Amino acid sequence: MKRTTPIAIGTAAVVALTLTACGGGSGESGGDATADGPVTLSLAGWSLASTPEFQTIADAFHEENPDITVDVKEYAAGNDYDTQMTADLAAGTAPDIYVLKNLKNFYTYQSGQQLLDVSDVAGELDGDTSGVDAYEADGATYAVPYRQDSWILYYNQELFDQAGVEQPDGSWTWDDYTQAATDLTTAFQGSGSTATGTYQHSWQSTVQGFALAQSDGASLDSADYSFLEPYYERAIELQDAGAQPTFGTVTTNSLTYQAQFGTQQAAMMPMGTWYAATLIAQQENGEADEFAWGMAPIPQVDESTTGTDATPVTFGDPTGLGINPAIDENKVQAAKDFLAFAAGEGGAAALAEIGITPALFSDTVVDTFFGLEGVPTDDLSKFAFSTHETKPENPVAPSTAAVQNILNDLHTAVMSGSTPIADAIPEAESRASSEAGIG
């Protein structure tokens, strides 16, 4: 089993973080701050009503450590999370432990001295834990991963059968995917259905993540973004053919990927492994339709990495936990113990039981996940979930956040149809050179 292991936070924010790095204790810390008595830690989370992972880990940790309580503080979801966290860190009101949703802003947090050195925790983690080295800087480790999602292809088996189109078999390239999306859409239109062959969400990663991971020599800090062109040409082709909703439709109508796939408005959808848990829950509570679905490897750039005898290449950042250096010093050990639990076997088991992909990935995790009610148990789904080379969406570098913001502008311009990709790439390269100082 092979598993290798987006909000501008600008210069002003880095300065603000640095100025507050030596500030007082976290304003969100509660409970008894003594070394020997009960301790209460605060933990950042988001969308708590629909994202159970934070409370799940907190409860599982408390069960094993009854003298330590972890209170989850809700933050905004999506891109607003980092904006809000940055403000709270600068104000001294951030929680004791906070989540690094992806790697985009890790350098900013670390260089702003807003992460405690947790090298001792990282050094004790299981060697199979993915993404640990992603949080290394200046010879130390500043966060540990507790989740490692990878992007795969979800598909509606019943819609494929109704359309008379062959289901994915693990051998698909992007050309195969494009053809299937087109064929499905043609069949749906012929039957009067409003469903589309596939759904591509509005995020830049739905195009750029695959391009970066699968293109030879692709790099964010090279100021050469020509590798994006074929991936955007394909996305525009699918939009123009009506095989997926247009970017304008997605953004103007605030479409959600959960509803598009879950209510059978799309027969396929590239999305991260985290969505499996959401779909299972929504089919159970009625937010999603009841239908048979499966998981397949994400389409590949060529046949060299297709088939179940090969290892498909995809992308996905780890999700990590770091400690606010403004934490009361008497709580540091308890916070480190929580990180070790979340990134270790205890956290992995708790996450797998609710359908979340942990960073510590094992046969036991796979067995637990596929033992959940509602999870497809076919061989291809198991292969897609467990076997892939996962490259980072946001390789850690000083320029990553700035470059990703530039490329997000490119994404919006191209997908909205305001700028052809051939014109957008040189503009992005020029901006990367002048604004991010690369190239």
Q: What is the DSSP string of 328-368?
A: -GGGHHHHHHHHHHHHSHHHHHHHHTTT--BSB--HHHHHH
* Contact assessment for residue 393 and residue 317, using Cβ atoms and an 8 Å cutoff: yes
DSSP reduced 3-state for 320: strand
**CA diameter of the chain:** 70
pLDDT in tens, 229-256: 999 999 999 999 999 999 999 999 999 9
Phi, psi of 72, deg, nearest 5: -95, 125
Q: How far does the chain reach from its first CA to its final CA, in angstroms?
A: 37
Closest CA to 325 of 94, 73, 144: 94
DSSP reduced 3-state for 297: coil
Question: What is the rounded CA–CA span in Å between residue 439 and residue 431?
Answer: 10
Q: What is the pTM of this model?
A: 0.86
Question: What is the rounded CA–CA span in Å between residue 24 and residue 327?
Answer: 8
**For 374-378, what is the mean pLDDT?**
95
Confidence of residue 160 (pLDDT cuts 50, 70, 90): very high
- Per-residue confidence (pLDDT) for residue 36, from 0 to 100: 66
- Per-residue confidence (pLDDT) for residue 412, from 0 to 100: 98
Confidence of residue 78 (pLDDT cuts 50, 70, 90): confident
- Per-residue confidence (pLDDT) for residue 51, from 0 to 100: 85
Q: Which residue reads 């069960």 in tokens?
A: 63
What fold does the segment set 151-311+395-435 form as a domain? D-Maltodextrin-Binding Protein; domain 2 (3.40.190)
**For 119-144, what is the mean pLDDT?**
94
| Interior/surface letters 400-427, b for 16+ CB within 10 angstroms, e for the rest | bbbbbbbbbbbbbbbbeeebebeebbee
Question: What is the rounded CA–CA span in Å between residue 243 and residue 75?
Answer: 35
Return the H-helix or E-strand segment holding 259: helix 257-262
Whether residue 368 has pLDDT greater than 80? yes
* Contact assessment for residue 208 and residue 228, using Cβ atoms and an 8 Å cutoff: yes
Decide: residue 397, CB within 10 A, 0-12 exposed, 13-18 middle, 19+ buried: middle
The dihedral through the CA atoms of 290, 292, 298, 299 has a sign that is negative
Spacing of C-alpha 95 from chain mean position = 22
Amino acid at 29: S
Whether residue 376 has pLDDT greater than 50? yes
- Per-residue confidence (pLDDT) for residue 79, from 0 to 100: 77
Closest CA to 319 of 278, 273, 261, 364: 273
* Contact assessment for residue 208 and residue 231, using Cβ atoms and an 8 Å cutoff: yes
Whether residue 137 has pLDDT greater than 90? yes
Domain boundaries, the chain: 11-148+317-361, 151-311+395-435
**For 203-215, what is the mean pLDDT?**
98
pLDDT in tens, 8-36: 333 333 333 333 333 333 333 333 334 56
Question: What is the rounded CA–CA span in Å between residue 8 and residue 192?
Answer: 43
Whether residue 402 has pLDDT greater than 50? yes
Return the H-helix or E-strand segment holding 237: helix 229-240
Mean confidence (pLDDT) of the chain? 91
- The yes-or-no answer to whether 11-148+317-361 and 151-311+395-435 have a common fold is yes
Whether residue 98 has pLDDT greater than 60? yes
Strand order in the sheet with 151-156: 268-272, 151-156, 293-296
CATH of domain 11-148+317-361: 3.40.190.10
Residues 6 or more apart whose Cβ sits within 8 Å of residue 367: none
- Per-residue confidence (pLDDT) for residue 127, from 0 to 100: 85
**For 310-317, what is the mean pLDDT?**
97
**For 314-337, what is the mean pLDDT?**
97
The percentage of residues in the chain with a pLDDT greater than 70, rounded to a whole number, is: 92
